[in-house]
């Protein structure tokens, strides 16, 4: 299973796909990745989804959510945390859901007065921002190199003491 959602939108200047939130090098190399490498990517995406979605929703009934996803034929990865499934549910049909309790969910207080489409847009924006920030922090050569150089200089200073 791939994280791809069929909305590939990495650009020449973009480092993160706006669809699945994988880094451009992960999208390009996905088919050559080992199972372990794929699990590492899935784990990061799952953690980001959980972090963001759990700010908006309380999961009251996991089995109800799972059965509704299956009934509605919404693509989700059953190996991931159920909070990651909520992300898939919203992506597939936030505008079509009238009663989230029918999916075993409750809105948290900060969601008061917002419809699911607006919440989904905020979640998508936050997810992309988190993915981009993580990429810049850990993978982007332009920001990684100075950090690496500073770390190497610090180690060299310690050796000279």
8 Å CB contact between 84 and 49: yes
Residue 127 located in a structural domain: yes
Q: Can you give the residue range of the structural domain that contains 107? A: 44-139
pTM of the complete model: 0.79
Burial 57-78 (b: 16+ CB within 10 A, else e): bebebeeebbebbeeeeeebee
Residue 28 located in a structural domain: no
Residue 126 located in a structural domain: yes
Into how many domains does the chain fold?
1
The pLDDT value recorded for residue 104 is 98
Residue 11 located in a structural domain: no
- Tell me the pLDDT of the chain (161 aa) as tens digits: 788 777 777 655 678 888 788 888 888 888 999 999 999 998 999 999 999 999 999 999 999 999 999 999 999 999 999 999 999 999 999 999 999 999 999 999 999 999 999 999 999 999 999 998 988 888 766 654 444 444 444 444 444 44
18-23's contacts with Cβ under 8 Å and 24+ in sequence apart are 18/128, 20/45, 21/45, 21/48, 21/127, 21/128, 21/131, 23/131, 23/135, 23/139
Residue 82 located in a structural domain: yes
The pLDDT value recorded for residue 149 is 44
Residue 12 located in a structural domain: no
8 Å CB contact between 94 and 61: no
8 Å CB contact between 65 and 89: yes
Residue 36 located in a structural domain: no
Residue 66 located in a structural domain: yes
């Amino acid at each position: 299973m791939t994280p791809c959602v069929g909305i590939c939108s990495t650009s020449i200047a973009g480092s993160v796909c706006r669809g699945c939130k994988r880094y451009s090098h992960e999208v390009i190399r996905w088919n050559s990745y080992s199972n372990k490498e794929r699990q590492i990517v899935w784990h990061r995406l799952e953690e980001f989804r959980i972090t963001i979605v759990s700010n908006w929703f309380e999961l009251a009934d996991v089995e109800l959510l799972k059965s509704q996803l299956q009934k509605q034929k919404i693509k989700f990865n059953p190996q991931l945390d159920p909070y990651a499934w909520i992300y898939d549910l919203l992506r597939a049909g936030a505008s079509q859901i009238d009663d989230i309790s029918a999916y075993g969910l409750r809105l948290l207080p900060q969601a008061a007065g917002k419809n699911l489409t607006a919440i989904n847009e905020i979640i998508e924006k936050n997810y992309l921002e988190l993915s981009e920030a993580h990429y810049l922090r850990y993978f982007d050569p332009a920001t990684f190199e100075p950090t690496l150089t500073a770390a190497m200089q610090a180690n060299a200073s310690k050796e000279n003491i």
